[in-house]
Amino acid sequence: MQSRRQFLKYAGVGGAALAAVGSGVLSFQTLAKERPADAPAADHNAPGSDSANAEEMDRMHEQGMLAFPAPTAAQGLQPLEHTLEDGFKVFRLVARKSRWEVEPGRVVDAWTFNDMFPGPLIRVTEGDRLRIIVRNELDESTSIHWHGLKLPNNMDGVTYLNQPPIAPGATFTYEFTARNPGTHGYHSHHNGVKQVPMGLAGALVIDPQDSRRRYEADREAFLFLMDGTHGYTLNGKSFPATSPITAHLGERVRLRFVNFGSMVHPMHLHGLHMEVVEKDGYALRNPYDCDTLCVAPGERYDAIVTADEPGQWAFHCHVLQHAESEHGMFGMVTVFDVA
């Protein structure tokens, strides 16, 4: 993974507008105070002056941005492999305690599926028959709710309503047909108020069988939103450890939003706009355009961005406490990079 310094250099190759800012970090030194030639050199030591603090604040802001995208161990939402058995696509999930690097040096005790946070991406096609074998290696019972899916009631995952809990050491097998296309998810539905923010949540996409129901897009990117136990995270990482969304000029990028946190996150995209085409996997009869999309807990949205302006565009939650501190940007922040 490249550092922000390298990233800027790379990005600078791509577009005219980027050239102005992408020629190196030196172009980003703080604009000097305009000071008459005969003024005393150091007024920031005068009583009441905040200059030293201001410079330190700038330095911290710069460090965060230069570090982006900061390397961390492992990525969440990696595609989960399957085998084929008896006409089923067979997936295996193991719930267990793991360590997860949310941002450089901040490694947390997470409860994960397959040692990932968010859990692996399960991706199938409408009509597929799925068998998902879940083994619980935690110290307490768990279960999985297939959030957004149409399925038989006894596969829905709410303990004592739809199934028994999966005790520590036990295994449960879910079987159902992928019926309704869209961006969905999965998460614990047993002591979920603790288990979900600890990390037991992932994404599940059902691609439509009919290609006419697919949107024209050159690329896609997830924005899996979590808050709570591990802080404000995008795809399991906090800025500057988040990954940029990249596109070539003119490409169309499909964004898949999933919020399994406990707060609304109005995601604001700078310089470009989003055409919102699906909510919870259901096509909107009339898509709408926006630059700020508020995603509530449990909701999913699909949106198309046409990368029609080159540059590195900030993309972050506009609840500023989820994205910024006096030390610079953090949390639910990434960059949409059009080169």
Nearer to a second copy by Cβ, of 56 and 218: the residue is 56
Which DSSP letter does residue 107 get? E
CB of 155 to a second copy, least distance (A): 8
Distance (Å, rounded) from C-alpha 25 to C-alpha 214? 41
- If one asks whether residue 41 binds a second copy (CB under 8 A), the answer comes out as no
Nearer to a second copy by Cβ, of 60 and 74: the residue is 60
Both structure tokens of 68:
């982006």
Distance (Å, rounded) from C-alpha 56 to C-alpha 260? 36
String marking each residue 57-76 x if it binds a second copy according to CB under 8 A: xx--xx-xxx----------
Distance (Å, rounded) from C-alpha 24 to C-alpha 315? 22
CB of 290 to a second copy, least distance (A): 4
String marking each residue 4-33 x if it binds a second copy according to CB under 8 A: -----------x-xx-xx-----xxxxxxx
Q: Which of residues 265-304 bind a second copy (CB under 8 A)?
A: 266, 268, 270-273, 279-280, 282, 284-292, 294, 296-300
Q: What are phi and psi of 38, to 5 degrees?
A: -100, 10
Among residues 89, 92, 190, 254, the one that binds a second copy under rule CB under 8 A? 190
CB of 201 to a second copy, least distance (A): 11
In a 13 Å sphere around the CA of 186, the CA atoms on its Cβ side amount to: 28
Nearer to a second copy by Cβ, of 108 and 249: the residue is 249
CB-neighbour burial class of residue 162 (10 A; exposed 0-12, middle 13-18, buried 19+): middle
Distance (Å, rounded) from C-alpha 132 to C-alpha 122? 10
CB of 226 to a second copy, least distance (A): 12
